[in-house]
Amino acid sequence: MANRSIAPRHFLQFNDFSREDFEYLFARARWIKAQFKSYKQYWPLVDRTLVMIFEKASTRTRLSFEAGMQQLGGSAIYLNTRDSQLGRGEPVEDAAQVISRMSDIVMIRTFEQEIIDRFAANSRVPVINGLTNEYHPCQILADIYTYIEHRGSIEGRTVAWVGDSNNVCNTWLQAAEVFGFNVHVSTPPGYEVEPERAGLYGTDHYEEFTDPMAAVRGADLVTTDVWTSMGFEAENEERLRDFQDWQVDAEMMREAKPDALFMHCLPAHRGEEVAAEVIDGLQSVVWDEAENRLHAQKALLEYLLIGRVNT
Ligand code: CP
Ligand code: NVA
């Protein structure tokens, strides 16, 4: 069982881990993926239980954590706000005390980062951020793993982010500081990056562009996300108008390097933030990106539960 007498390590923001931690996780993800692809059983987490708390909808995150935990020999329990006491005002601190006494690791998808921080401060077991309004660290863990699989090291490369400066964008910006790459961000006026909210140490690793075509010029990777994130639905109509010129289409992709990749965390809205010809085109690696959530998070679960093992 987990050693519950020592302070647990959490993954609440991307920069909670060092570059060296990530290099280790990528090596493990590669090995774990190879086992999975060759139908080899690998059960290091027998008797371990993951509790997954969802206060927002999910397909990929739920599936990759639940399937991943089962494939590692453990089990996963799904809780949501609708049919647990979490939606009826039980304090997050109390929920953390109780849930962490009955499980070995917890994954949470919620609204403000402050909620997951309070949960983690009261948890006896590791807590993983499965998306908050501010961050989506598991997504970028899988995305950088995917970039490396296709193109090798991301250090010194240029990532173009076109669209909303949301949770996924903030996490790319943190990752740029950890790995030493650059992000060219282009958002409509009024939707610019808020460095403090993004949890950045400085502004050395990103540059803002008013013109999305200029942001994409010469990029190694072009990426975007929905114009309206979960929790911001009331702004949908206004955002549809404001983001019109920030669609990643074929013309925009032509500004990037000829071998540039396209990524999107999904779910996507073809005809809004991305044109069908791009997401369904040859430069798109969105399906690898989605699949790699599984392999990368299995490495993360193993790391947080049993520490480093020899690859
Ligand atoms: N990309 C991602 O986190 O997808 P879900 O919302 O389906 O979990
Ligand atoms: N930015 C999106 C990501 C969904 C995976 C959202 O928060 O809704």
Mean pLDDT to the nearest integer, 81-105: 93
Fold of 14-136+290-306: Rossmann fold (3.40.50)
Residue closest to 44 by CA, chosen among 72, 79, 64, 13: 72
* pLDDT on residue 1: 47
Identify whether the C-beta of residue 154 lies closer than 8 Å to the C-beta of residue 146. Answer: no
* Active site amino acids: 109, 136, 139, 225, 265, 293
Per the DSSP assignment, residues forming a β-bridge with 207 are 184
Q: From the CA of 206, how far away is ligand 2's center (Å)? A: 21
% pLDDT > 70, the chain: 98
Name which residue sits closest to atom 6 of ligand 1, judged by CA. Answer: 58
Give the per-residue pLDDT at 3.
53
Please indicate whether residue 140, judged by its CB atom, sits closer than 6 Å to ligand 1.
Answer: no
Q: How far is the CA of 31 from the centre of ligand 1 (A)?
A: 24
Domain boundaries, the chain: 14-136+290-306, 139-287
Closest by CA to 215, choosing from 187, 189, 236, 179, is 187
Give the number of the ligand closest to the Cα of residue 59. 1
Does pLDDT of 309 surpass 60? yes
**Would the CATH topology of 14-136+290-306 be identical to that of 139-287?**
yes
- Residue type, position 201, single letter: Y
Query: How many Å lie between the centroid of ligand 1 and the Cα of residue 178?
Result: 23
Nearest CA to ligand 2 atom 1: 229
Does residue 61 line the site of ligand 1, with CB under 6 A?
Answer: yes
Q: Which amino acid is at 129?
A: N
At the topology level of CATH, where does 139-287 sit?
Rossmann fold (3.40.50)
Question: Beta strands of the chain (E only): which ranges?
Answer: 49-54, 75-80, 105-109, 127-129, 158-162, 182-186, 206-208, 221-224, 261-264
Give the pLDDT score at 310: 82
pLDDT tens figures, 235-260: 999 999 999 999 999 999 999 999 99
Give the mean pLDDT of 186-211. Answer: 96
The per-residue pLDDT of the chain, averaged, comes to 96
How does residue 5 score in pLDDT terms, banded at 50, 70 and 90? low
Give the Cα separation of 177 and 86 in Å (integer). Answer: 35
Q: What is the pLDDT of residues 261-303, one digit of tens each?
A: 999 999 999 999 999 999 999 999 999 999 999 999 999 999 9
pLDDT on residue 83? 82
Mutate to test the pocket of ligand 2, among 63, 134, 136 (most ligand atoms within 8 A of CB): 136
pLDDT digit string, tens, across residues 199-233: 998 989 999 999 999 999 999 999 999 999 999 99
- Is pTM beyond 0.95? Reply is yes
